[in-house]
Amino acid sequence: MPVARPESSGARVIAHVDMDCFYVQVEQRKQPHLRGQPTAVVQYNSWKGGGLIAVGYEARKDGVKRSMRGDEAKKACPQIQLVQVPVARGKADLSTYRNAGSEVVSILARKGRCERASIDEVYLDLTGAAEAMLAEAPPESLERIDEEALKSHVLGLNEDGSNLKETVREWLQRSEADHRDKLLACGAFIVADLRMQVLKETEFTCSAGIAHNKMLAKLASGMNKPAQQTVVPFASVEGLLEHLPVKKMKQLGGKLGSSLQIDLGVNTVGELLQFSEDKLQERYGVNTGTWLWNIARGISGEEVEGRLLPKSHGSGKTFPGPQALKTIASVEHWLNELCEELSERLQSDLDVNKRIAHTLTLHATAFKSSDSESHRNFPSKSCPLRYGPAKIKEDTLNLFQAGLREYIGSSGISTHGSRYRGWGITSLSVSASKIVAVPTGTCSILRYFHGQDQSCCSSEQVKDRFPEAAPSSPSGTESYSGSHPTEPPIKFLKEEARIGGAMPIVDENEINTEVCMREDTCAALQPVDGQDPSCSSQGAHHEFIQETSALSSSGTQCCTELNQNELHMESQAEETGTKYLRPGTRPREQKRKLVKDKGSSSILRLFQNFNNSASQKREHATNIDETQASLSLNFQSTGTFSELNEAEVPKENPLGMPTLGQQDELRRDAWDYKIDEIDSTVFNELPPQIQQELRAWLRPQKRANLPKRGSTIAHYFLPTKNTSHYKVMLYLSCNTILVSMTSLCGGIYTISINKKEGNVHPFKWRVNKLNSSH
DNA sequence: ACGGCTTAGACC
DNA sequence: TGGTCTAAG
């Protein structure tokens, strides 16, 4: 349901850019002989010529419509060229179109905030660019103006329908024009330019609308197609909406729009004006009521989100009528196909955009022939997403079976034996959502997947995108890292397995160990001197902030770029990556080196080895094996969930990060463990490499260079059975060495190694919902 | 018992 | 929160 947003104060310049019959253009670029010919794209050519999903303008002239079957199209337009959408794994594969869409987005994002609205549409906020142009090179000062801009349509300008370039030129250059109109004129120039860039670089044409908000821009972009642009001056809004059928408005194409027509007798947007806001709220609720009242007046405050990438990925297929799936085996087969596609796309998203999805969801539709309640929907099910095709398949099948059990009901019907006659599946889809950029520290996780170095993001980047991952507000920090010493932030849940939800079944003791270690940031060790402003003066009370600040000199650049254009990450990452490794003269790089020398080398090697073998393993798609090395073994052996008493909660917050006030004090306190003070049985249970590391840290002669207590020693990432990744930190607290595992999915696991032998519970798993700021 | 396949967002 | 529903291209 639409939701009202207040219009922001100043006039904005918003553009909506829409590709013309995009799939057709993509195919025509691929096969140039199709250019100029009536063309349509179809899928599943087998039945009645397939279904049309895109129709070129030449074919539209002959009355060919989307949603015709191929046969009908042939009838309407005998010369039509029907191109099949690529098929992979028995289903339509849209990746070529997705990729082509990305090409376009990467160009359109150059002049302002850009939001990818669909595979072939974007919104742009060009306010800044338009203001800058108005200040530096206003249209009236231009001697020659761009042909494409001249071809703009300006609503309300040529009422008779004539579109004289001269009147358009006048409008664009009128010096006494309303400030808002001048901004729109600048917008028209900018958009014309962008569209030409798109054409030049991709060979695709597009249409655009330029207005003061998204709604109007969207409306305008469709008014003159193909390959044209339309401007909506403020003064034309009322006239534009007056006779516009409500159904044409975005969000009113469905039931809501029908309700306006049927229940209120409103057929045009203008007719909506007679209803008070109260009246509309009364009928449609506060949000929708206000929204309707606003759009009737051309008001829409929705921001253009700076987002170039999709928020989710999905792969689905329908099995209509007789094709309905009736055995678990056939369902499994198709789920596997869908999962393979999904997995491929997830992997590519990770490779190219450095993003990880956290939730896997299965949707299905089904019928139940025999039963009375056969219309009950098949329930969607979701669970934490684990990477790798095999895992995704396994989890998806489990989700399906859970859904099926529920669907069939607990009426005691057994699904044993693969066939059960009562049900049929008519559609399946698997999707991945909750996609977040790999949070800082990410180089390690990326290397784990890639087996090579990659670039990092700045903390700003992460905070912008994932406030939950790096809370910037004190309260967020509080709840996450527990800076209130009086209030232990860790709550102990006994039912640990619940973390992954009921499905799929997880073995909470098992931790797969493809592991990796971030050697590439100074965050691995907090600087001893505490002098570096980037690492200490920010007083980072949160490890994300702390660790990323250290990256700023080389990391920021990359991230700034990433912000502007996520799609270009790959190449930029490489660039930055090389700079990164070069021994530098800048202080921060020196520090990086220092940190490295200081001593995580063995752990580094350990994880490096894991990396290598893990990535090789991935090639062969076989999983669990000897790469489940010592770490996992050790962690496994410790996975008992004994109750933990309050007394054992570390004095400081459980992540070991000092609060602002504590920080200075802590820094003065050297960490004074002796190796023998640590319960040896506990110590011995650590992975040997980590034992070695700790011994190194504890050597007296090295003390001077030791990390202060309360500081993070090292970070690792562990993909595990029931979540995609954990961030693992080894850090020192006042009484303990803690190995804390922060699940990016929402749990904090802590293993503490206590100083004194008397302390029971050498290893504890503490589970805490990551109950932070949001 | 067919338009197929995707994405996004709001509600509870 | 997960699950459901609407809407759109």
The percentage of residues in chain A with a pLDDT greater than 90, rounded to a whole number, is 47
**CA A31 → C1' B7, Å?**
28
- List protein-proximal bases of chain B (any atom < 7 A from a CB): 1-11
Which residue lies nearest C6, CA-to-C1' measured? Answer: A1
> Does pLDDT of A642 surpass 60?
no
* In the predicted structure, residue A343 carries a pLDDT above the cut 60: yes
Angstrom distance, A132 CA to B7 C1': 34
The confidence score (pLDDT) of residue A374 equals: 58
Nearest DNA or RNA nucleotide to A432 (CA to C1')? B7
pLDDT of res. A684: 54
Q: Between these two residues, A580 and A206, which has the higher pLDDT value?
A: A206
- What is the per-residue pLDDT for A418? 55
Residue A252 Cβ < 7 Å to strand C: yes
A262 to A257, A266, A267, A524, A592: CA distances (angstroms): 9, 8, 9, 64, 68
A257 touches strand C (CB under 7 A): yes
* Mean pLDDT (whole number) for A466-483: 29
User: What is the C-alpha separation between A751 and A769, in angstroms, rounded?
Assistant: 16
Q: Decide which of A363 and A626 is more confident.
A: A363
> Which nucleotide is nearest, taking the CA of residue A428 and each C1'?
B5
**pLDDT band for position A710 (50/70/90)?**
very low
In eight-state DSSP terms, residue A368 is E
pLDDT at A774 over 50: no
- For the question of residue A121 being annotated catalytic, the response is yes
Whole-number pLDDT of residue A2: 80
**Nearest-10 Cα torsion for A747, A546, A519, A522:** -160
**Strand C at less than 7 A from CB of A255:** yes
Structure-block tokens of residue A724: 């995609």
Of A58, A115, A121, A685, the active-site residue reads A121
Q: A447 is written with which tokens?
A: 């290397």
Q: Which residue has the tokens 């003159």?
A: A224
Q: Which nucleotide is nearest to A380 (CA to C1')?
A: C3
In A155-221, where does DSSP find H-type helix? 165-173, 179-202, 214-221
Q: Locate all alpha helices (DSSP H) within A412-542, ordered by sequence.
A: 442-450, 459-465, 474-481
Q: Which two tokens stand for residue A235?
A: 């003064």
* The pLDDT value given to residue A6: 66
- Protein footprint of strand B, defined by Cβ closer than 7 Å to any strand atom: A 1-3, 43-44, 47, 51-53, 66-67, 91-94, 98, 116, 118, 285, 287-288, 305, 310-318, 320-323, 341, 367, 426-427, 429, 431
List b or e across A659-676, with b for residues whose CB sees 16 or more CB atoms inside 10 angstroms: beebbeebbeeebebeee
- Which token pair is A534? 């980037």
More confident of the two residues A732 and A422: A422
Please answer whether residues A643 and A492 qualify as being in contact, where contact means their C-beta atoms are separated by less than 8 angstroms.
Answer: yes
Nucleic strand C under 7 Å from the C-beta of A773: no
Q: pLDDT grade, residue A247 (50/70/90)?
A: very high
Nearest protein residue by Cα to C1' of nucleotide B10 = A1
Where on the phi/psi map is residue A269: left (φ > 0), alpha (ψ -120 to 50), or beta? Answer: alpha
A321, closest nucleotide (Cα–C1'): B1
Q: Which residue has the higher pLDDT, A637 or A750?
A: A750
**Whole-number pLDDT of residue A16:** 97
In DSSP terms, A16 is beta-bridged to A123, A209
More confident residue, A577 or A372: A372
Element at A563 (helix H, strand E): helix A552-564
Distance A162 CA to B8 C1' (A): 38
Q: Is the CB of A120 under 7 A from strand C?
A: yes
pLDDT > 90? residue A445: no
Q: For nucleotide C9, give the residue with the nearest CA to its C1'.
A: A118
The number of residues making up chain A comes to: 774
Q: Which residues have a Cβ under 8 Å from the Cβ of A381 and sit 6 or more positions away?
A: A361, A362, A399, A400, A402, A403, A503
The pair of structure tokens assigned to A301 is 């405050």
pTM, 2 dp? 0.66
- Nucleotides on chain C that have an atom closer than 7 A to a protein CB are 1-9
pLDDT > 70 in chain A, percent: 53
Q: State yes or no: pLDDT of A244 exceeds 90.
A: yes
pLDDT beyond 70 at A713: no
Average pLDDT over chain A, rounded to an integer:
66
What would you report as the CA-atom Rg of chain A, rounded to the nearest whole angstrom? 30
Residue A645, pLDDT above cutoff 80:
no
A211 pLDDT more than 90: yes
Name the more confident of A645 and A207: A207
Name the 3-class secondary structure at A232: coil
User: Distance in angstroms, CA of A284 to C1' of C7?
Assistant: 16
Residue A321: per-residue pLDDT: 85
- Going through A340-492 in order, the beta strands assigned E by DSSP cover 355-368, 381-384, 423-437
pLDDT number for residue A691: 56
Gap from A18 CA to B2 C1', in Å?
A: 29
pLDDT tens track for A274-301: 999 999 999 999 999 999 999 999 999 9
- The residue-averaged pLDDT of A404-426 equals 70
Report the pLDDT value the prediction gives residue A369, as an integer from 0 to 100. 73
pLDDT score of A468 more than 70: no
Tell me: pLDDT of A611 over 50: no
**The tokens 């709604």 sit on which residue?**
A215
**For residues A547-572, average pLDDT:** 31
Q: How confident is the model at residue A474 (pLDDT cuts 50, 70, 90)?
A: very low
> pLDDT higher for A86 or A745?
A86
B5 C1' to A94 CA distance, Å: 9
- Distance in Å from B3's C1' to A403's CA comes to 27
Q: At what angle do helices A328-353 and A389-408 cross, to 10 degrees?
A: 140
Closest nucleotide to A259 by C1' from CA: C6
Average pLDDT over residues A28-33: 95
Cα A737 vs. chain centroid, distance in angstroms?
35
CB proximity A746–strand C (7 Å threshold): yes
Q: Which amino acid is at A362?
A: L
Q: Which residue, counting CA atoms, is nearest to the C1' of nucleotide B11?
A: A1
Would the Cβ of A382 be found within 7 angstroms of any atom in strand C? yes
Residues contacting A700, CB < 8 A, separation 6+ = none
Q: Whole-number Å distance, CA A405 to C1' B2?
A: 26
Which nucleotide is closest to A379, CA to C1'?
C3
Place of tokens 């534009």: A240
CA of A369 to C1' of C6 (A): 27
- Does the pLDDT value for residue A257 go beyond 90? yes
Residue A190 pLDDT > 80: yes
Question: Residue A583: which pLDDT band, with cuts at 50, 70 and 90?
Answer: very low
Residues 183-202 of chain A with CB under 7 A from strand C are none
Instruction: Specify whether the backbone of A759 is left (phi greater than 0), alpha (psi in -120 to 50) or beta.
Output: beta
**Lowest mean pLDDT, pick from A27-41, A97-111, A144-158, A758-772:** A758-772
Rounded to 5 degrees, φ, ψ at A752 are -110, 140
